[in-house]
Chains A and B, each alone.
Chain A
Amino acid sequence: MLFDKFQTMADFQAELAEREVVPFGAVTEQLLSATEGIVEGHKVILAGTNNYMGLSFDPRCIAAAQEAAAKWGTGTTGSRLANGSFAEHQALEREIAEFYGVNHAIVFSTGYAATMGMCATLAGPGDVILLDADSHASIYSGVKLSEADIIRYKHNDPEDLAKRMRRLGDRAGQALIIAEGIYSMLGDVAPLQEIAAVKREYGGYLLVDEAHSMGVLGDSGRGAAQAAGVEADVDFTVGTFSKSLGSIGGFCVSPHSELEAIRFCIKAYIFTASSSPSVIASTREALRIITREPERRQRVWDNANRLYEGLKALGLPVGPTASPVVAVEMVDRSRTIDCWKALMEAGVYVNLVIPPASPSTNFLLRNSVSAAHSSEQIDRIISAYAGLKEAGLFEPAQAA
């Protein structure tokens, strides 16, 4: 049967419905601010939105979007290669290239399209791609479409990458190495200094996905490569507008002039409508704001450290270092669902993550913090977890 392969998911959905839990696709009925809303009937602090700079309700971004909608209409109704290239799109491409200090940029309609499109197009049959084992689904989808040879290296393990580059022999010089700045599920940062050193030793090209690190890392918010001081080794930077910039869309920037030819070969760019002018306008404004207001970066890190230390003090199994993504790893699916539900009832929305979206067989209560969270909100999130612990919802091994 065509539908047999979906039965496991259908069973899981039925189990969730029976337990009256809606962790996936929970409906936000009202947004009260960038950090508070009413979700599935609960008034909650939003601690799972990736809204790192807290700009989704910034009045300047809203005004820019409104003005653009009035001037350009609600949508472009066409591809960038046909009628969908407005002056706004071109301006954003100039500005995002300038932000990264390079000359070439492509703006995509979503972050997924940017990453998937670049990975699918840069390498082709006969080429080889080396990707981190914990890469995002958009990277896995893209490399599969590329028809290149796909080799995984161990997560955040430059030695394993080096070993695999050595094994490639002459092919290493043409290989495409892919890493992410901050990994989206556990919030760990890629060792880009060491990865760049492998590239310098063996050759190849380096693509870094800064989706979760743009705005958050680096002196001017360019991401993990800037923080590591290895931007000169990065051939392609991809990222998204839907996190730190509070809108939707994606980009690729590069010092290589060939990006202009590559643009016309990316199906995810050609065969889809371009972003609405209002989206582009708010993104441009948000980019200006994160450049002018570096204190937002400090605030998101203050909040990240506060949440991380708070959860760690409770004895919860969080990652090795603080990051704007703070994930609590759980072993048991049923307990994780109970915890998610209890957090909602305690007024905190977080992301429930199940394999294969999590990088191992573990389940995650994934929290992400924003510069817009107040210290008091962070403390309320920590208190909610403390309540769960007191109620015995964590297994002893998980809250040891």
Chain B
Amino acid sequence: MTDYQEYLGFLYSALASQNKKNIELTESTHLVADIGLSSLEVMEFIEKIEDHFDISIPLNILPDVNTIGELAVKVRELNP
């Protein structure tokens, strides 16, 4: 299993192009409230993660995911 920090690292780099406000990305950065991703941008971002790790992220887990750290935990769980 890839280390949590590696997941975080990937998420930071995958978000770079969508970080239009250029804010500092941390584990506690909110994908919507802080970065301002639209629902369409969230889905594009999710797809990027899915293709990179060759997994599918079920829609039903997304309501529990607000921050980059929470997403890293979920992606790690889905990629044993």
Q: What is the chain B residue whose CB lies nearest that of A133?
A: B43
Q: Is the CB of B40 within 8 A of A361?
A: yes
Total A residues in contact with B, Cβ cutoff 8 Å: 12
Q: Is the CB of B55 within 8 A of A167?
A: yes
* Total A-B contacts with CB atoms under 8 angstroms apart: 21
Q: Which residues of B contact A149 (CB under 8 A)?
A: 58, 60
Contact of A150 with B by CB under 8 A: yes
For the residues of A in contact with B, the DSSP-based class is mixed
For A137-152 the 0/1 string (1 means CB < 8 A from B) is 0000000100111111
For B48-80 the 0/1 string (1 means CB < 8 A from A) is 000000111111100000000000000000000
Q: Which residues of A contact B55 (CB under 8 A)?
A: 167
Min CB gap B52→A, angstroms: 13
Q: What is the chain B residue whose CB lies nearest that of A168?
A: B56
Contact of A151 among B40, B43, B58 (CB under 8 A): B58
Min CB gap A190→B, angstroms: 20
Measured CA separation A168–B54 after assembly (Å): 10
Q: What is the chain A residue whose CB lies nearest that of B58?
A: A149
Total B residues in contact with A, Cβ cutoff 8 Å: 9
Min CB gap B59→A, angstroms: 4
Contact of A167 among B43, B54, B60 (CB under 8 A): B54
Min CB gap B46→A, angstroms: 9
For A252-291 the 0/1 string (1 means CB < 8 A from B) is 0000000000000000000000000000000000000000
Contact of A164 with B by CB under 8 A: yes
Q: Which residues of A contact B54 (CB under 8 A)?
A: 167
- List 15 interface pairs A-B (beta carbons < 8 Å), by A numbering: A144-B60, A148-B60, A149-B58, A149-B60, A150-B58, A150-B59, A150-B60, A151-B56, A151-B57, A151-B58, A151-B59, A152-B43, A164-B56, A167-B56, A361-B40
Given A144-B60, A149-B60, A150-B60, output 15 extra A-B contacts at Cβ < 8 Å. A128-B58, A147-B60, A148-B60, A149-B58, A150-B58, A150-B59, A151-B56, A151-B57, A151-B59, A152-B43, A152-B59, A164-B56, A167-B55, A168-B56, A361-B40
- 10 shortest interchain CB distances as A-B pairs: A149-B58, A150-B59, A151-B56, A150-B60, A164-B56, A167-B56, A150-B58, A151-B58, A167-B55, A149-B60
